């Protein structure tokens, strides 16, 4: 028989028993929908994770720490011996240089914080903070490391620094009354809005361009920094954060160090030339602190704190890798050098793993209903074979090949699966659209666009990748054909004789 004829017979048989076909197809639709929607929820989770990771900052940055300092403190117990490899390897300039040689590494720099109580003031002491943060990296590596400058430019002269995105929000205004003398730093929600809270803790999400700014413009601001070196010769402004009230009673009233007298050895005048984009893995200097050049910071410490040793080793370093796929490999090599590492890679991996498991579980739940649908198809086809025993006998008696009869039944079952799959996918697309619109809050042109194709700052609840449609349709069809096997075999075993026997 010609294939077209077999297909025509299939269609005639299916349309002859319309209600049964429709009900069976309905079962497949439900099964297909449940798989697609379940998997799409899993895929949505993945998309949300991605958005979350994006907010977590640079995914290709590795934080390196020397064993025994941060992280694995316990492991550093026996690390005084100065052995070149293994635990307790020295994180010095030479080590950082050798990290730069690792294939895939595009930039590396030591990272050094100013480990003192840091007081900063701006505008002749009007704006001040006692909890200043200063970190230093090798400024020559700045662009290699992926530091993003939002405004201004990178420092070129000594005394020039970069400020974190929300640096200015760290300052209090001494001329404003208690309670309104500082502004909360806004929080970027990642969807184009920014969460901003007032001093009393009431928060609301506002568009990014309506954020209430800090008291002063940090770009170009001249910051006076002073540190408490703990040797008792601190200047009047050398207030240690959180010290007891009695001893600092006089000091807090006159935070004007920068304006009067010659600069003490423990003060530093800095000028902000640029604003950095907040990026957590690169340290808090990118959000609320200042980032300065490593050598300048070393000089300042040497000058300000005579008791301090010359800095040759660092607690932490930053290594930037070209591509996310190389992160794990580079991390391993750095660990082999005897250092501890940290990156978003582990988080990303575990998130990915987690969403894969959730996806599997959800898909499995969906698969159960498709299994039920498969049983429905088998049932329908078995019924159909029983009903058509006589017809099959006639066809065989008239010389129809057994193969053609089998193909006819498999075709009918497969078509039920195919139809259910296609309709199921269409319905799933609508349901997915509905869920996303609900999550995005209402129907509008852009929302519909975002709900279907997504967008830069959009994380959808339900994501149906194109391959899922193909897979669902192919899978439904396959389920249909598989369900048809047993009935088809039953059909071809019907002896031609039965057709004639009925005549007696």
Q: Where do contacts with other proteins occur on this chain (CB under 8 A)?
A: 1-2, 4-5, 12-13, 16, 390-391, 394-404, 495-497, 499-500, 502-504
Please, which residue, 17 or 174, has the CB nearer to other proteins? 17
Helix or strand or coil: residue 23?
helix
Please, which residue, 328 or 496, has the CB nearer to other proteins? 496
Please, which residue, 12 or 284, has the CB nearer to other proteins? 12
Report d(CA 154, CA 162) in Å as an integer: 7
Q: How far is the CB of 493 from other proteins (least distance, A)?
A: 11
Task: Enumerate the H helices of 17-112 as residue ranges.
Answer: 18-56, 93-100
Tokens for 319, please give them: 């290594």
Q: How far is the CB of 402 from other proteins (least distance, A)?
A: 6
Please, which residue, 172 or 400, has the CB nearer to other proteins? 400
Please, which residue, 219 or 496, has the CB nearer to other proteins? 496
Query: 118 has which bridge partners?
Result: 227
Residues 6 or more apart whose Cβ sits within 8 Å of residue 469: 36, 425, 429
Please, which residue, 259 or 502, has the CB nearer to other proteins? 502
Please, which residue, 17 or 126, has the CB nearer to other proteins? 17
Q: How far is the CB of 397 from other proteins (least distance, A)?
A: 6
Query: 70 has which bridge partners?
Result: 67
Q: How far is the CB of 485 from other proteins (least distance, A)?
A: 18
3-state secondary structure 178-198: CCCCCCCCCEECCCCEEEEEC
Please, which residue, 265 or 397, has the CB nearer to other proteins? 397
Please, which residue, 319 or 392, has the CB nearer to other proteins? 392
Q: How far is the CB of 495 from other proteins (least distance, A)?
A: 7
How far is the CA of 465 from the CAs of 43, 69, 365, 460, 496, in angstroms? 8, 45, 19, 12, 49
Tokens for 108, please give them: 């590396």
Neighbours of 163 (CB within 10 A): 28
Tokens for 497, please give them: 């004789």
Query: 172 has which bridge partners?
Result: 128
Tokens for 4, please give them: 């077209």
Q: How far is the CB of 403 from other proteins (least distance, A)?
A: 8
Q: How far is the CB of 376 from other proteins (least distance, A)?
A: 22
Q: What is the DSSP letter of 76?
A: G
Please, which residue, 1 or 248, has the CB nearer to other proteins? 1
How far is the CA of 271 from the CAs of 136, 220, 274, 275, 489, in angstroms? 15, 6, 9, 12, 85
How far does Cα 474 stand from its chain's mean position? 31
- Per the CB < 8 A criterion, the answer to whether 172 and 128 are in contact is yes
Q: How far is the CB of 26 from other proteins (least distance, A)?
A: 22
* Residue 431, phi then psi, degrees to nearest 5: -60, -45
Neighbours of 445 (CB within 10 A): 7
**Could you tell me whether strands 127-129 and 117-122 are parallel, antiparallel, or unpaired per DSSP bridges?**
antiparallel
Q: How far is the CB of 354 from other proteins (least distance, A)?
A: 53
Tokens 């047993």 locate to 486
Report d(CA 66, CA 92) in Å as an integer: 9
Please, which residue, 92 or 391, has the CB nearer to other proteins? 391
Q: How far is the CB of 356 from other proteins (least distance, A)?
A: 48
Q: How far is the CB of 388 from other proteins (least distance, A)?
A: 9
């Amino acid at each position: 028989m010609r294939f077209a004829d077999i297909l025509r017979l299939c269609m005639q048989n299916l349309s002859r028993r319309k209600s049964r076909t429709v009900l069976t197809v309905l079962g497949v639709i439900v099964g297909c929908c449940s798989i697609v929607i379940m998997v799409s929820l899993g895929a949505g989770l993945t998309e949300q994770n991605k958005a979350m990771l994006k907010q977590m900052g640079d995914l290709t940055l590795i934080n390196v720490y020397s064993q025994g300092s941060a992280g694995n403190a316990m492991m550093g117990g026996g690390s005084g011996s100065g052995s070149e490899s293994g635990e307790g390897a020295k994180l010095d300039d030479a080590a950082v240089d050798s990290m730069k040689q690792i294939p895939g590494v595009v930039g590396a720099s030591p990272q050094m914080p100013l480990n003192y109580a840091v007081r900063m003031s701006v505008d002749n002491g009007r704006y001040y903070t006692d909890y200043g943060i200063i970190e230093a990296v090798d400024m020559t590596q700045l662009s290699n490391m992926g530091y993003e400058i939002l405004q201004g430019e990178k420092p070129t002269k000594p005394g020039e620094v970069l400020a974190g995105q929300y640096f200015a929000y760290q300052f209090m205004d001494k001329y404003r009354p208690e309670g309104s003398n500082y502004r909360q730093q806004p929080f970027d929600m990642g969807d184009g809005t920014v969460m901003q809270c007032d001093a009393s803790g009431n928060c609301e999400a506002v568009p990014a361009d309506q954020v209430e700014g800090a008291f002063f413009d940090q770009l170009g601001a001249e910051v006076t920094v002073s540190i408490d070196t703990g040797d008792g010769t601190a200047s009047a402004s050398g207030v240690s954060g959180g010290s007891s009230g009695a001893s600092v009673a006089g000091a807090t009233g006159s935070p004007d160090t920068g304006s009067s007298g010659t600069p003490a050895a423990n003060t530093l005048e800095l000028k902000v030339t640029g604003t950095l984009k907040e990026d957590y893995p690169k340290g808090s200097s990118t959000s609320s602190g200042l980032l300065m050049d490593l050598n300048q910071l070393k000089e300042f410490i040497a000058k300000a704190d005579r008791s301090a040793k010359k800095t040759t080793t660092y607690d932490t370093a930053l290594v930037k890798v070209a591509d996310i796929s190389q992160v794990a490999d580079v991390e391993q090599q750095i660990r082999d050098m005897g250092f501890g590492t940290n990156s978003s890679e582990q988080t990303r991996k575990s998130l990915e793993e987690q969403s894969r498991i959730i996806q599997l579980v959800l898909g499995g739940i969906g698969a159960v209903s498709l299994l039920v649908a498969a049983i429905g198809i088998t049932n329908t086809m078995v019924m159909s074979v029983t009903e058509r025993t006589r017809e099959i006998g006639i066809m065989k008696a008239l010389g129809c090949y057994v193969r053609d009869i089998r193909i006819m039944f498999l075709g009918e079952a497969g078509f039920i699966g195919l139809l259910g799959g296609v309709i199921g996918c269409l319905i799933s697309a609508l349901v997915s659209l509905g869920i996303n619109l609900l999550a995005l809050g209402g129907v509008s042109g852009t929302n519909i666009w975002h709900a279907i194709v997504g967008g830069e700052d959009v994380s959808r609840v339900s994501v149906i990748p194109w391959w899922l449609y193909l897979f669902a349709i192919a899978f439904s069809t396959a389920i249909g054909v598989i369900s048809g096997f047993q009935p088809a075999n039953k059909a071809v075993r019907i002896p031609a004789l039965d057709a004639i026997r009925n005549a007696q």
